[in-house]
Amino acid sequence: MKKLFILSLLLSPTCAFSMHIAEGFLPANWCVFWYVLFIPFLFYGLKRIKKISSENSEAKMLLAVAAAFVIILSSLKLPSVAGSSSHLTGVALGAILFGATSMSVLATIALLFQALLLAHGGITTLGANAFSMAVVGSFVAVGIYNLLKLSKLPRNANIFITAVVSNLSIYAVTSVQLALAFENGTSPFGESLIKFLSMFMVVQAPLAIAEGILTVLVIKLIEAYSLIEIKQINPKYIYEEKN
């Protein structure tokens, strides 16, 4: 009975403070705002994936792996404090391999799948969820990865830090989205932001570390067993340190 209760907690949808903002939780004006902000990235990402696939047909398999990685990791939600939930995201892997704009498509597929089949997130809030996870998380990953390359850190350390920071950035942006939506006279933006950040970060920090480790391991597996070298897809990925 105890195991059944724990399982129900893990699988039950959370509505208020999860990384994937639930259906109907954002006011209509903010839903529209985040959709308008996100859609250009989606269209550019579609063009980018089409270009990658046409230039190298073997990259399609790795695109599928990157999408599956996001779907699996971001579908695993863990209860957090005050009715919230925490997640791994998986977007750093695809961002490193294919660039940030490509992940705007892959992560949106994952979010749409979860909204329709897992009651996790929502259609009205898809724009907000996609902007924080598919756009911000991906661009932060690419930016951090390229910045750390200048420091000549070991490649695995670079990948690990990139995944950790990308994960935490998604929660930070979601906190901003919620604080903006529910700012009022009794709950100013600053106070709301601190509240949402504090609820997320306590539990999210160890999960971000776990995601960093998983991302390193998966990339090593891809390199070991893939029929195509990652360098053929993203020449910027490896900086002559594959010894």
Indicate the pLDDT class of residue 234, thresholds 50, 70 and 90: low
Sequence ranges of the domains in the chain: 2-233
Average pLDDT of the residues in 215-240? 68
Indicate the pLDDT class of residue 169, thresholds 50, 70 and 90: very high
Strands (E), the chain: 77-79, 85-87
Query: What is 110-141 written as a DSSP string?
Result: HHHHHHHHS--S-STTHHHHHIIIIIIHHHHH
Residue 65's pLDDT is: 85
Say how far apart CA 125 and CA 73 lie, in whole Å.
20
Residue 85's pLDDT is: 56
In the structure encoding, which two tokens stand for residue 235, read together? Answer: 């020449």
Residue 81's pLDDT is: 43
Is the pLDDT assigned to residue 107 strictly greater than 50? yes
185 or 222, higher pLDDT: 222
Residue 112's pLDDT is: 86
CB-based burial label for 111 (10 Å; 0-12, 13-18, 19+) = buried
Q: For domain 2-233, which architecture applies? A: Orthogonal Bundle (1.10)
Residues pairing with 58 in the sheet: none
Say how far apart CA 116 and CA 108 lie, in whole Å.
12
Residue 159's pLDDT is: 93
Is 30 within 8 Å of 180 (Cβ atoms)? Answer: yes
Residue 93's pLDDT is: 92
Is 84 within 8 Å of 100 (Cβ atoms)? Answer: no
